[in-house]
Structure 1
Amino acid sequence: MATSSQVLKETKTTDCKNSSNCITCYLPIEIFIEIAARVSSHSLADLYHLKLTSKEIINITDDDNVYEHACLDKVPFFPDLIPKQDSFLSRCLSSGNLESLYRQGMKAFFCNSKPYEEGLDIIRMAGQKGHDRSMYAFAIIVLILKCCNNNARIGLLGVEEFEEALRFLRMLRNQKCVLKCRNDVRSFVSELSSEMQPYRLVDQAPTTHLCRRVTCKNTWRLKIGIWFWLTHDDDDENDPKMCENCRWDHELEYFCAKTLYIDVPYLLYD
């Protein structure tokens, strides 16, 4: 079965015989689609202006690759959809747009009464493809389920999920974007709370810690003196002497306190 790009290529090749202004007479359709995908990955406004140039470009840019890479940073989590917006976002999701998958997975996990696995699997899939917010969301959900004694959902987890969660966090830490991802995920959970009354993930502070060493002398707590939150310069500091497990214990406790509004009495912050 011919793809949309192949059909367009055949159509435009025929059209070129009848038009000296045909764009694809001078530029292969695949290259123009790649250019449009790059434009969409940086700015939907620029993509919109590109589409305004001609009907031919409107047809060319109606390609899954363009929707897959579309940047949705400026699109509200819960926009007041009109048909065109709904169609656009649905096309992004069906095209495998990672931000769309992340949003779909978060809503499925937090806001449905049963299919928790489906939502977490979607978030995980987007994380495996490199979406940083999905990596953080998957990791923090796994840590919450593991450390907060949430028996209702603990069946979702295995050793593989836990190890992947830690691997995601290490990758984000190496990229120095843990704080940014946390803030983005917090914003989304906040939107879920105001718009859809999500299922409460956990009702108590972590009861289990990743660091089991009572006499641990290389903890995150000692590094920062007290457990106030860090600046962008200090976040994700790669100190080889620092206990990694303490770092993620702190991350989990902070997220529970600041995002899920769980009382964590031993966490001191501004």
Structure 2
Amino acid sequence: MESGKKGGSMESEKKMLESNSILETIPRDLVLEILVPLASSSLSDICNTKRSCKTLNELGNNSYVLRYVSLEGVEVVQWEPSPELLSFLPRCEESGNPEALYRRGMVEYFCNNKHEDALKFLERATNLGHEEAAYVLGIILLCNKDESKEWGIELLNKVEKRKRSRNIGLSELRNKCKAIVRKIWLNNVVCPEEPLCSTLACKNNKRKRGQGWDLSDEDEQVMFDCKACKWDHERTLFHNMLCGSA
């Protein structure tokens, strides 16, 4: 019986060595290009691939692969993290994985109250094209009392333009944020203070003062002549979403 196990082990080692030797003949850059779409579609698939041989394990941990690896199925907050995840997630952040950076920013801002760190993570994710990160960062900046509001409006205008080109509304982003928020211990919410639009004659302001503006209405067909009023409305919807998840 023991000899059978030994024979099986030797056969397995032999196959692994053969796999390594074959891979050594293929340019590493080409192998990385093969691993990236695999990693971006399934974390479990790339993990299984890494276990197949030493070379693939090494390349699977390459920063280029980690930048695109999917985090689907990985909890936003690791209440009882394994040693593997404790090292895996920070390496994803260091490699510039947009989803990892976005999640870290959400946790730092809404759970840990580390606003400065959170904004850095969200900005990095935004610069890498993460739409939810850009949306959340824009909303947070709109609630600040300094000139960063202008940056927030710029971010939200760009996000809205991209979504509109695909006939998708901002409610999709809000719902994705809600899914993240529900998985963390919420200790902080954004609080809209003075309105962005202070023009008393603005007809949208009349709606805000109780003449027809339903803040529970997330209908993307609501039209705003005034962009400032539109973002007043959006940040209030975001605030209400957070309070409903607390």
**Could you say which TM-score interval applies, normalised by the shorter chain?**
0.7 to 0.9
Q: Stretches of 4+ moved more than 6 A in 1?
A: none
Unaligned runs of 5+ residues in structure 1 are: 1-17, 147-157, 263-270
Q: Go from structure 1 to structure 2 and tell me whether the alpha carbon gap of 1:20 and 1:173 turns closer, same or farther (over 3 Å shift).
A: closer
Residue 34 (structure 2) pairs with residue 42 (structure 1): no
Could you tell me how far apart the structure 2 residues matched to 1:170 and 1:220 are? 23
Unaligned runs of 5+ residues in structure 2 are: 1-17, 164-168
Please state how far the C-alpha of 1:35 moved relative to its aligned partner: 2.2
Other-structure match for 1:163:
150
Count residues in correspondence.
218
Please state how far the C-alpha of 1:34 moved relative to its aligned partner: 2.2
1:143 counterpart letter in structure 2? L
Please state how far the C-alpha of 1:30 moved relative to its aligned partner: 0.8
Please state how far the C-alpha of 1:32 moved relative to its aligned partner: 1.4
Cα RMSD, aligned residues only: 3.1
Other-structure match for 1:229:
217
* 3-state SS in 2 of match to 1:191: coil
Could you tell me how far apart the structure 1 residues matched to 2:20 and 2:45 are? 26
* 3-state SS in 1 of match to 2:184: helix
Task: Pick from 161, 164, 186 the counterpart of residue 178 of structure 2.
Answer: 186
Other-structure match for 1:126:
125
Could you tell me how far apart the structure 2 residues matched to 1:179 and 1:28 are? 45
Please state how far the C-alpha of 1:211 moved relative to its aligned partner: 2.0
Other-structure match for 2:187:
198
Residue 239 (structure 2) pairs with residue 259 (structure 1): no
Identity %: 28
> Is the CA contact (8 Å cut-off) linking 1:192 and 1:198 kept in structure 2?
no
Please state how far the C-alpha of 1:212 moved relative to its aligned partner: 2.3
> Is the CA contact (8 Å cut-off) linking 2:99 and 2:130 kept in structure 1?
yes
The TM-score, its normalising length taken from structure 2, stands at 0.74
Residue 165 (structure 2) pairs with residue 173 (structure 1): no
Please state how far the C-alpha of 1:118 moved relative to its aligned partner: 2.2
The TM-score, its normalising length taken from structure 1, stands at 0.68
> Is the CA contact (8 Å cut-off) linking 2:189 and 2:242 kept in structure 1?
no
Give 1:75-224 correspondences, 5 Å limit.
Answer: 75-79=74-78, 80-112=80-112, 115-146=114-145, 158-159=146-147, 161-176=148-163, 178-193=170-185, 198-199=187-188, 201-202=190-191, 206-217=192-203
Could you tell me how far apart the structure 2 residues matched to 1:108 and 1:248 are? 24
Other-structure match for 1:65:
64
